[in-house]
Amino acid sequence: MPPVGPSSRVGSGATLAASTGFASVLSRAGGAHAPADQATVRRSNLALVLQTVRTTGQWSRAKIASETGLNKATVSSLVGELIQRRLVSEGEIERGGMGRPGQIVGLDRSVAFFIGLEINVDYVAGVVTDLAGVPVARQRLSLDVRELGPARTLAKAAELAMSLLGRAGSGESAAQAVSLNVAIPGMIDADHGILAYAPNLEWRDVDITHTLRGLLGMPRTRITVDNDANMAAVAEFTSGSMAGVRDIVVLTGEVGIGGGVVAGGELLRGAHGFFGEVGHMAVASEDVLCGCGRRRCWEALVGLAAILRTIAEPGDPLHDPSLDLVTRLQEIEHRADAGDRRTLEGLTMVAKGLGQGASILVNIFNPEVIVFGGYFAALARFFDKPLQEELYSRIIAPGGGGCRVEYSTLGFEAAALGGAHAGIHDVMTDPSLVDASGVVLAPDANVLTYAGG
């Protein structure tokens, strides 16, 4: 299957590529029989050279030519254009080899920045990375997003993005923001940049991209929106401890439960882009009411609200959304370490429910790894044993289907990091998106070429 193009989200998976996989992804672009004009061929070759530089670090033009199979004159021309676009730069003279010494070429990490934001029930998180995918600024704000509503929350998100960008670069940083991707726990109309429905936020039909464009005043920056679990899966695939694993299920543990699935190296989206609402599988008892208004939903059994409801009375500070989420989770750890019976029993109950629902996903997708993120990772030492016991007791395939359990190391900024990597992937697959000043030529506010990279 060819990778997803700029407007082919419906009915397609989105080909993922870790930093070592760009060339193989590129070789499939456009399909086996797609005609290519001269401009298309040059864009493809630009991408091939840029991806090679990113993968190898710093190489001379001669080595790039040898690695890519392009002739030296073509590589020199392509490198010259990438230098003009400020995506690569020249370094020291390579010495010690045969023949004429050449200048080293490496990524220019000083100009193009990529922003990822996540809006969730209890916080807004942001990450800014350079072209190599290295975070240069990050922050998470504790907010009661339901209380604030869409307008005030998006204003806070825009302020956070500008603040992070100011820390990442020079006074002209706004012009260097190539892309901004927003991750939200809900169903996304990505083609139009709209959040269709987010039950835990209590938001419906919110125009995310155009609202942020108006708030940010960055008309040349590509602004997109995607599901938070999808972006968390992208982050794990590109940056997490499981980077490059081609069959992976990522579960995000917040108030809601989202599922991002990479199968055969492709991010699954479903026929209309609404894939991943695993938190609404009917696995709980009839008397458990979900935030979506239905009963028996999995996230009503194992989501953050469920663990808080199980271990704390209504007036307990653990329920206060104005308190930082990490602080509240640390209090749960403290109570568990102190031997509080209610806390320990609640953690065990949720862990078993988590293993029960996760076993359904393992039986369906047969992943190599299932990664638990968000608050699941924060409380992993209490969840792990009962979770794995329940999980493997319910997997039909022998040996647990070859699936192993891992916990995310990316914290509550995973989805934001994945959003930043989504923008990097767009540039890596089409460097012509960035002009000679290092900013996007013609941003499409409603398009995300993929989500990874």
Name beta bridge partners: 404.
369
Instruction: Confirm whether 17 is domain-assigned.
Output: no
Which CATH number do you get for residue 176? 3.30.420.40
- The residue-averaged pLDDT of 60-74 equals 92
Q: What is the pLDDT of residue 442?
A: 45
Does 25 have pLDDT greater than 90? no
Instruction: Confirm whether 181 is domain-assigned.
Output: yes
Tell whether 210 and 289 lie within a shared domain: no
For 47-84, give the DSSP string: HHHHHHHHHHSSEEHHHHHHHH---HHHHHHHHHHHHH
Does 444 have pLDDT greater than 70? no
For 339-388, give the DSSP string: T-HHHHHHHHHHHHHHHHHHHHHHHHH--SEEEE-THHHHTHHHHHHHHH
Instruction: Confirm whether 391 is domain-assigned.
Output: yes
Name beta bridge partners: 250.
260, 371
- The residue-averaged pLDDT of 393-421 equals 96
Tell whether 209 and 248 lie within a shared domain: no
Range of the domain at 266: 243-411
Rounded to whole angstroms, how far apart are CA atoms 24 and 3?
Answer: 11
Tell whether 126 and 226 lie within a shared domain: yes
Cβ-count burial 91-124 (b if 16+ within 10 Å, e if not): eeebeeeeeeebebbbbbbebbbbbbbbbbbbbb
Instruction: Confirm whether 445 is domain-assigned.
Output: no
Q: pLDDT grade, residue 83 (50/70/90)?
A: very high
What SS3 class is residue 337? Answer: helix
Which of the two residues, 270 and 139, has the higher pLDDT score?
139
Tell whether 397 and 426 lie within a shared domain: no
Tell whether 175 and 317 lie within a shared domain: no
Does 348 have pLDDT greater than 70? yes
Q: How many Cβ atoms from other residues are within 10 Å of residue 73's Cβ?
A: 10
Tell whether 407 and 417 lie within a shared domain: no
Instruction: Confirm whether 97 is domain-assigned.
Output: yes
Q: Which two tokens stand for residue 192?
A: 């139009």
What SS3 class is residue 42? Answer: helix
Q: E strands along 144-202, which residues?
A: 177-184, 187-189, 194-198
Tell whether 82 and 124 lie within a shared domain: no
Q: Cα separations (Å) of 145 from 174, 276, 453?
A: 26, 22, 30
Q: Cα separations (Å) of 133 from 115, 167, 399, 419?
A: 10, 16, 36, 11
Q: What is the pTM of this model?
A: 0.86
Percentage of residues of the chain with pLDDT beyond 70: 85
Which of the two residues, 171 and 24, has the higher pLDDT score?
171
Does 449 have pLDDT greater than 70? no
Show the DSSP H helices in 239-303 as ranges: 298-302
pLDDT digits (tens, 9 = 90+) for 206-249: 999 999 999 998 888 999 999 999 999 999 999 888 888 999 99
Q: E strands along 74-231, which residues?
A: 88-93, 103-107, 113-119, 123-129, 135-142, 177-184, 187-189, 194-198, 203-207, 222-227
Q: Which two tokens stand for residue 165?
A: 């960008």
As a 3-state breakdown, the chain gives helix, strand, coil percent values, each rounded to 5, of: 45, 20, 35
- The residue-averaged pLDDT of 319-335 equals 93
Does 311 have pLDDT greater than 90? yes
Closest CA to 258 of 373, 378, 406, 405: 373
Cβ-count burial 404-414 (b if 16+ within 10 Å, e if not): ebbbbebbbbb
Tell whether 258 and 313 lie within a shared domain: yes
Contact 371, 248 (CB under 8 A): yes
Residue that finishes a domain, picked among 89, 107, 125: 107
Tell whether 80 and 178 lie within a shared domain: no
Tell whether 218 and 296 lie within a shared domain: no
C-alpha dihedral (375, 189, 134, 144), degrees to nearest 10: -40
Tell whether 273 and 394 lie within a shared domain: yes
Q: pLDDT grade, residue 148 (50/70/90)?
A: very high
How many distinct helices (H) and strands (E) make up the chain? Answer: 14, 17
Domains identified in the chain, total number: 3
Contact 8, 271 (CB under 8 A): no
Tell whether 312 and 424 lie within a shared domain: no
